[in-house]
Amino acid sequence: MEKFINLKAIVAPMDRPNVDTDAIIPKQFLKSIKRTGFGPNLFDEWRYLDHGEPGMDNSKRPLNEDFILNQSRYQGAQILLARENFGCGSSREHAPWALLDYGFRVVIAPSFADIFYSNSFKNGILLIKLDAAVVDDLFNDVAATEGYELNVDLEKQIITKPDGSTIAFDVDEFRKHRLLNGLDDIGLTLQHTDDIKAYEQCRRAEAPWLFN
């Protein structure tokens, strides 16, 4: 996993609540057996005017010019500003893979769905929960200023606006630690092999039917 320490980048606004993982990456692209290459199909049904299928040359497909990510002012955006319950629905990790492959490293919203939240951090994407009123202000700021950028500092847990004002954010200590250091969860857990074996031995004695 790639570390996340600090990022200054353009913000793209996704102004609708309950954006689900079917919208983030439609199911036909879940047939891939790879982790990469989902970026061109991020928000596929909103982004293109035709029906997308795996294997198409996406550069030749008709774009929905009204869709936010197709507008020139949001090109190169790495921070996505969203509404409540972002990432609801399926557990597909293809959703954070698609966001990451497109270039997003930060999503800011009033709330996120649980499984999407966990999946995103495991792929080096920082999700920031802010009060709905603060998010509302950011939507207004982004709309008012072309090329609007935010500076996100994970170490200090602070977002800095272009005018120098700041917004503090919370993040679980264990997620922050893994993200700052780009740590591999499996490697960390395997340091506790003895604990797992001891648990199994004990559990096998009290509930042997779980080990048949």
Order of strands, edge to edge, in the sheet holding 106-109? 126-129, 106-109, 79-82, 6-14, 149-153, 158-160, 166-168
Given candidates 3, 156, 203, 204, which one binds other proteins under the rule CB under 8 A?
203
* Amino acid (one-letter) located at 124: G
CA dist 16 → 41, 60, 100, 135, 176 (Å): 19, 28, 20, 12, 27
- The piece of 3-11, 73-81, 107-115, 144-152 that touches other proteins (CB under 8 A) is 107-115
Q: By C-alpha distance, which of 36, 41, 10, 13 is closest to 26?
A: 41
Binding mask 132-171 toward other proteins (x if CB under 8 A, else -) reads ----------------------------------------
Residues whose CB falls within 8 Å of the CB of residue 35, separated by 6 or more in sequence, listed in order: 97
Among 63, 166, 172, 182, binds other proteins (CB under 8 A): 172
User: Is 30 a binder of other proteins (CB under 8 A)?
Assistant: yes
Provide the residue type at 54 as one letter: P
Query: Does 32 engage in binding with other proteins (CB under 8 A)?
Result: yes
Nearer to other proteins, 113 or 128 (CB): 113
In the list 79, 83, 126, 148, the residue contacting other proteins (rule: CB under 8 A) is: 83
Binding status of residue 208 toward other proteins by CB under 8 A: yes
Backbone angles phi, psi at 108, to 5 degrees: -115, 130
Beta bridge partners of 113: none
Chain contacts with other proteins (rule: CB under 8 A): 16-18, 20, 22-23, 26-28, 30-35, 45, 51, 54-55, 83-85, 88-93, 96, 111-115, 118-119, 122-123, 172-174, 177, 185-186, 188-190, 192, 195-196, 199-200, 203, 206-212
